[in-house]
Structure 1
Amino acid sequence: MIEFGLLRRLSRIVTVTELRMDHILRRAGWLTRIREPDTIGVTRAGRLYRGVEEILRVVRRRMALALRCCPRYRSA
């Protein structure tokens, strides 16, 4: 989804995410709620807002991890 948004020059992405992901998103510094969580069936979910700066930060982290973990991705 991140790459899709960047290719389309989107400035914001809004997602619906399960609350079980809350601690992961908080640790990543990626959690900004635009309202309190709602119940959908038996699942509690909240909406998240993401700006371009935060999205690019995630992409950079992913690239750095790939370069560190997978030497074949490093340029010669």
Structure 2
Amino acid sequence: MILPAEVAARLHALLATGKIISKTAAGHHGAAEFLSYADLCTRAINHRAGHPITFTVADAVPTVALGRRVVVAT
């Protein structure tokens, strides 16, 4: 499963460094670069690691906001 938060962070890492990184590394990158979305990124990392993390419709708002921040930042 690809989570939008990982996609946004992965895109930012690619545009900022020119390197394609793993989805898990993207979660760490997003948490470090966008502190206000660190919880969302950490939850995505834990989900990828197999922990029972639930995402809901309410997560869409911060996920879209993160995507917008990535576009503005690059």
TM-score of the pair, normalised by structure 1? 0.31
Which protein is richer in helix relative to its size?
2
Please say which structure displays the higher CA radius of gyration: 1
> Relative contact order: is structure 1 or structure 2 higher (C-alpha 8 Å, sep ≥ 6)?
2
TM-score of the pair, normalised by structure 2? 0.32
Which protein is richer in strand relative to its size?
1
